[in-house]
Structure 1
């Protein structure tokens, strides 16, 4: 299938139009026209090869919403015309214990990323959602609740499930006390989802000026991390803190905020962290954990939960040709709170 997208050809090159071929449908494949694609910080890191493993040309994009255009002969869950979604994964081994548990992101053989990963059958590098079309195996396609606004669904496929998964893992519900560090694409979804689950949500921030926005998103409280008296008064006040900050930062101030058996879960930073003291951990049986996205079952669960609760990300819709400017703005945290590309702005490939 001929299609067109935007690709990075090198770490220093801006994203530019790129024509390529999607694979022919296998029996268990779904083909879709991409309608919207969210812009994730991981897209920028991949385009710039910040993690050192990018294969070029790279087409980013793993927050994808589209319409089914064709199905393989063995597909039973979807039909042409269905509104569907694809997140950060397009394949896994499907037979290990983690895949059987619905935790494909932890596949023992390694999950296949929606972009910049070798296809499990052909070995070709996967190309993501900054494009007009996509072909994905049925098991990794998700159904979009009919009441959700399609233009705002896309960030649920990464930012949504990345914050939903630790909320579910640590059994957040009414009466839970949840702190959220960082109020960007991930953080604003953590606030909305935790509030939707009935938790008491507090945003922990260095910037007092963000309090109004935090409360607008659903936070019950706001804690200024530079206010030593307020931080001391908040000691032992949280069951779970979700840290969404994407850069290296000091987590020591947050550890005493956890109650006994409390957890600080890192979901934003990929790489190293400054040294932290073990004293609050030992004295309070506190823990530091990490979490990456969620499995297919959990991703469908967050879509359905957001459908029931009418929860959607705050999005700024952009045209495909605005992506390089969007990357620049994202580096400066100049977005409220997620960019979404309207793929109607991407011209159809020549026949």
Structure 2
């Protein structure tokens, strides 16, 4: 099948139409006709080769909503015309120790959609290498609002399960952006007492609208120290290089700081920030196939939606620009039809 995609041909270049032949469909594979594609900052980073790993021509994209176009002979439970999503992980081996224990997101052979080179989801079709990573979308969630859930949504939802966050916990979310605005909604629906942390108070009203009952303007002198010892769990969604000891100081004894944003400098702590009160630091990534489906079900039941700006394909560069400059409120989604 000929796939019409949108590719960058060198670092930082504008996207141009690009076609390739996807080849024969494998037994476990699924072709999805894309209707909506979310833009994650990782997509922009790869287009600009910020990580030094990009290969051109590069087709980014890993938050695709569409309908099933064709399925392989071994596919179960999916049929042509069904509305589905293909997210950050489009396949895994299903025989390693991580897959057989349900932790498909830790599979060493996982198929990271955005790292494929010229086979990403900024295209009219995207192929999943395993049908178990193709997720039916609940009827209650519109396609544009569903797209960011397949990366941003599962990235902030899975740590709640992995780290045992309870409704009785006091939780803080660092950053009110593409990930943070979803984390606030999930945690509020989870039953937690939720505080939003942002550099200034400009997003206070939005944070409260997303479910925060407390707010800390971290740029104000002494604001973080005043909240020391307040939280059982702190989720950092930002890529900024934070004063990590101050954030560890926010934790209660045995509290946990989970980092899902990717700073460009090492994360360092004084031993005395962690050891005396047995505090924990953890990383977080996109959820497993099971966690992603649980997240979609939870979002549908609790009316959790990504707040999005939508753009036609003709305004792809405008949408990318909004993400580059961090001005999108709160996720950018391209409509492919």
TM-score, with structure 2 as normaliser: 0.95
Of 143, 158, 174, 1:165 maps to 158
Q: CA deviation at 1:200?
A: 0.7
Q: Which residue in the other structure is 1:206 paired with?
A: 199
Q: CA deviation at 1:169?
A: 1.4
Q: CA deviation at 1:228?
A: 4.2
Alignment of 1:219 onto 2:218: no
Rounded Cα–Cα distance in structure 2 between residues aligned with 1:175 and 1:144:
30
CA contact (8 A) 2:64 2:85 kept: yes
Q: Structure 2: which 5+ residue stretches go unaligned?
A: none
Alignment of 1:2 onto 2:18: no
Q: Which residue in the other structure is 1:65 paired with?
A: 65
Q: 1:44-55 counterparts in 2 under 5 A?
A: 44-55=44-55
Q: 1:27-42 counterparts in 2 under 5 A?
A: 27-42=27-42
Of 134, 144, 149, 2:137 maps to 144
Rounded Cα–Cα distance in structure 2 between residues aligned with 1:193 and 1:316:
20
Of 172, 177, 189, 2:170 maps to 177
Q: CA deviation at 1:270?
A: 5.2
Match of 2:35, SS state, is strand
Of 297, 306, 311, 2:304 maps to 311
Alignment of 1:134 onto 2:163: no
Rounded Cα–Cα distance in structure 1 between residues aligned with 2:105 and 2:264:
18
Q: CA deviation at 1:100?
A: 1.0
Q: Structure 1: which 5+ residue stretches go unaligned?
A: 118-124, 345-351
RMSD of equivalent CA atoms: 1.5
Q: Write out per-residue CA displacement over residues 322-347 of structure 1, whole angstroms, 9 at most, x where no aligned residue.
A: 22222222222111100011011xxx
Q: Write out per-residue CA displacement over residues 116-139 of structure 1, whole angstroms, 9 at most, x where no aligned residue.
A: 23xxxxxxx561111001222212
Alignment of 1:268 onto 2:261: yes
Rounded Cα–Cα distance in structure 2 between residues aligned with 1:226 and 1:252:
15
Q: CA deviation at 1:194?
A: 0.8
Rounded Cα–Cα distance in structure 1 between residues aligned with 2:111 and 2:292:
16
TM-score, with structure 1 as normaliser: 0.92
CA contact (8 A) 2:39 2:323 kept: no
Match of 1:58, SS state, is coil
Query: Following TM superposition, where does structure 1 have runs of at least 4 consecutive aligned residues deviating by more than 6 angstroms?
Result: none
Change over 3 Å in CA distance of 1:338–1:291 after alignment to 2 = same
Rounded Cα–Cα distance in structure 2 between residues aligned with 1:230 and 1:243:
17
Q: Which residue in the other structure is 1:121 paired with?
A: none
Q: 1:256-295 counterparts in 2 under 5 A?
A: 256-269=249-262, 271-273=264-266, 275-295=268-288
Number of aligned residue pairs: give it: 336
Rounded Cα–Cα distance in structure 1 between residues aligned with 2:12 and 2:306:
30
Q: 1:83-102 counterparts in 2 under 5 A?
A: 83-102=83-102
Q: Write out per-residue CA displacement over residues 73-129 of structure 1, whole angstroms, 9 at most, x where no aligned residue.
A: 22221111111111111222211111112212211x331211323xxxxxxx56111
